[in-house]
Structure formats: C-alpha cells, structure tokens
Amino acid sequence: DRYKLWGGCFEEEPSSVLRRLNDSLGIDSRLYREDVKGSKAWAEELHRSGHLSKQDNDAIQKGLDKVEEKITEELYKNGKLNDTEEDIHSVVERRLTEHAGEAALRLHTARSRNDQSATDTKLWMLSSLKRIQNEIIHLISVLVKRAEQEIDTICPGYTHLQRAQPIRWSHFLLSYAWSFRDDVTRLEEQRIRLSSCPLGSGAIAGCALPIDRKKLAASLGFQNVTPNSMFAVGSRDHIVEFLNWASLCGLHLSRLAEDLIIYSSQEFKFIQQSDQFSTGSSLMPQKRNPDGLELVRGAAGILLGDAFSFSCILKGLPSTYNKDLQSDKEILFRAYDRLLDCLKVTVGTVFNMKVDVEKARSLLEPGMLATDLAHALVRRGVPFRRAHHLVGAALRRAAALDLDLQQLPHLEYVAICPEFGTEEELMKIFSWEASVEQYTTEGGTSRNTVLQQIQELNQWLHGN
C-alpha cells in the first residue's frame, strides 16, 4: 500500500489524473540528499530539545543513512525512483519506517513539508550555485589566458557591426571576462539572502516546540534563520533572483556566442571553431556550423522565459504556501542544468577555437584610423569638432579619387588643413600598432592597459 502523509479524513483516493499532475517525485527526487540531511538535523534538534529519545534519534540517524545509500544506488542503476509516493519527502519518510520502525513516525513532529521543501531547495541551491560559480570562474580564466597569449593580435573593433577602430583581440576577450566577473559578484550577493534557514517554520505559524532554530540552521550550514514563518514558507524570492541572474548570465553568453558566430562566418573568417565544438551538414560536405554557440544563444531565450514564467506563477498568489509553488523546482532545475551546459560549451569553444591573426589584420582598413587622424589635428591645437569635419573632408576627397585614406596624397591633406603636418608625420598614423598604443588611459586597448586588466583579473581569480 502507498505510504501516505495525509488522508486520514478522506474516504476516497485522489483521481489518477490529479495524481499525475500532483506527483513531483520525478523532479524532486533530485533533492534526496538534502531531504535526508535536513531530516537528520531536524531529528537531532528534536532530541536535543527533549522531544525524541536518544534511542529513537539513533534509529532515525542510522535509518536515514541507509535510505540515502539505497536511493543513491537505485538512482545510479535506474536513473529514477519507482516509489509510488507523491514526492521525495514522502518517499524518504516511508523508507525510513523500513529501517527505523516506530521511531520513523516521530520524525515529522512539528515539521511541515512546507518548511521542509523550502529548506531542501535552499540547501540544494547553496551547493549548486557554487558549482555554477566555479564554471564561470573557469570561463573567465580561459578568456584571461587567451588574452595573455594573444595580446599582440590586432583585429577590427565594431560598433553597429560596422568597422570602427582597431583593437587588441585581447581587449575584446576581456570585455566579456568583466561581464562574467560581475556575474560572479552578483551570485555571491544572492548567497547572503539565500543562506537563511526556513526549517522550524512549520506550515505557516512557526514551531510550537522550543527548538533552537539558530543551532539547527548552523548545523545545516546556513548563516541565518528566516525571520518570519509565513515569509519562510511562502517566499521564493531567492529562486526569482537566481532565475533572473541566470538569464543575465545567459544573455552575456549569448552575446559572446553571437560575436563568435559572426567572426567565424566566411565573410569574417578570422576565427575557426574546433571539430569538437562545431558540427557538419548532412547535405553540404563543406559546412562547419557553430551549433554549440547557436544553442547557447537560443538557451538565453529559454532562460529569460523561465525567469518570466516563474514570476508569473508568483504574482497573484495569496500569502504562504500554495501548490503553485511546487513548480519552483522544475523551473529551477532546468534553468540550472541548461546554464551549466552552456557555460561548459562556451568554455570548450573559447578554449579550442583558433584565431587567424593574418586574417584578422587583413580586415582592418585605413578608414578605421579616421578618428586617429582627428586626434592628430587636436594635438596640434585644432578644436575636435573642426578636426572631425576636416577628416570627413579628407574621406570625401579620397572617395572621389577612389583612394583610401592612406593612399590620399599628402598634398591633398595639407590643402584641407595644414595641421595634418609633414608627410612623414602623417604616414606614422597609418599603423595599427601605433593606433592601439594611443589608448593608454585605464580601460583602453593599449598593451599596458590590457596587461593591467589581465593582472587585475588574475589577482581576482587567485582569490577565488
């Protein structure tokens, strides 16, 4: 017979279709370790406060270890649990009766699945967020390492996807490293709020037994206890925060993916994706498609949808626990899994891709030095707005003669403005290296300022 946590006053069984909608074991069995851990701590605290004998507590502690062991085995073997109970809390409790007998019937004293499930989920998040954080840190270290190795590679920098100015390839890579660094910081900030333990809040009103919630929380690794039992069982703000955070992180991954997809297209072609992280076409033998990056880009949309759908679930709920909340885990787990895979694919892609240095250089063209020409005039005292117009005139003149800026004769330049200087001075401007080396203020693309960024990120990585 199915072990039931409730039903004493019911005459009939729930309909099979309700059971299908209601049962969550397929999803929350993932929380079995947390459920066992929380239950062990709860039994300890019941015992400490005089509501569970030493003998019963011992039976429960040993029994729960057995339960965990068995579930681990079965999940390893079958990938799922075949129990007929509705959720993992019921399964753990029923299985405990097999090992601990009568003592098992005392475990749920003064506890509700409302505070239990909230606690399990938070415990899971505390360790899982750490795993995601480590993967982001891995990605940052791969970006920084490449930036170090490829510091002298210069490529076009784009705004509006139009050639803008030459930049160091490293500067581009680091621009993403900084976004991900901020993602880690945001994740750490969430952990402060996440780390308050709901256990001891009961179903809604709190706990009528004099248990020590602070001790209990500390034994589970939480920093704090939730300050209000209704808030504890009804709030899923930590999940909302995580989902929104995940969608922002996904958005960063997606933009990086988009850049790399563009740079590896035939029209740009200064990046080549590795075999491991690209795929071919079933029809066209020549194809090398960036499917991994495209999936990452698509996943960002799914993550945004997950964050949105969960907020939609919450927005009209009356206070405290409602069954609508059960979907929290389904959404949380799938967002987490997807983001973790995307991070790993991005790490692999960035680590393995090849940069064609010559090709990157060949995409640079003298028009991208127009800003530098204007700056040269500014250094000779010409007001910037006028300098901008004068370089514009040079561009127009060059176009009329079907020349690029570098080919435009010196005579033409000085006819537009004598401050363009001698031919030698003018020609010095037409160097990609000289161009990027002008940007020496903090955060710029000169060698030193890029090295400074690398040093700062490396320091941060060492501290993590």
CA 110 to chain centre: 37
CB-wise, 22 or 72, nearer to ligand ARG?
Answer: 22
The answer to whether 462 is a known catalytic residue is no
- Region near ligand ARG per CB under 6 A, out of 39-47, 264-272, 317-325, 390-398: 317-325
Residue 326 engages ligand ARG in binding (rule: CB under 6 A): yes
Residue 273 engages ligand ARG in binding (rule: CB under 6 A): no
- Whether the CB-CB separation of 387 and 378 falls below 8 Å is answered with yes
CB-wise, 35 or 372, nearer to ligand ARG?
Answer: 35
Q: What is the Cα–Cα distance from 284 to 365, expressed in whole angstroms? A: 33
* Residue type at 300 in one-letter notation: A
Shortest spacing between CB 322 and ligand ARG, in angstroms: 9
Angle at the Cα of 259 (from 395 to 333), degrees rounded to 5?
Answer: 155
CB-wise, 68 or 87, nearer to ligand ARG?
Answer: 87
- Region near ligand ARG per CB under 6 A, out of 66-74, 113-121, 276-284, 453-461: 113-121
Q: Point out the catalytic residue in the list 16, 160, 282, 462.
A: 160
Q: Which residues contact 415 (CB under 8 A, 6 or more apart)?
A: none
Residue 114 engages ligand ARG in binding (rule: CB under 6 A): yes
The answer to whether 160 is a known catalytic residue is yes
Q: Compose the 59-88 pattern: x for residues touching ligand ARG by CB under 6 A, - for all others.
A: ----------------------------x-
Q: What is the Cα–Cα distance from 291 to 273, expressed in whole angstroms? A: 10
Q: Point out the catalytic residue in the list 53, 265, 281, 431.
A: 281
Burial 346-369 (b: 16+ CB within 10 A, else e): bbbbbbebebbeeebeebbebebb
Binding ligand ARG (rule: CB under 6 A), the pick from 24, 39, 235, 273 is 24
Q: What is the Cα–Cα distance from 319 to 236, expressed in whole angstroms? A: 11
- Whether the CB-CB separation of 382 and 390 falls below 8 Å is answered with yes
Shortest spacing between CB 60 and ligand ARG, in angstroms: 20
Residue 117 engages ligand ARG in binding (rule: CB under 6 A): yes
Other CB atoms within a 10 A radius of the CB of residue 417 amount to 18
> Footprint of ligand ARG on this chain (CB under 6 A)?
24, 28, 87, 113-114, 117, 321, 323, 325-326
- Residues forming the active site: 160, 281
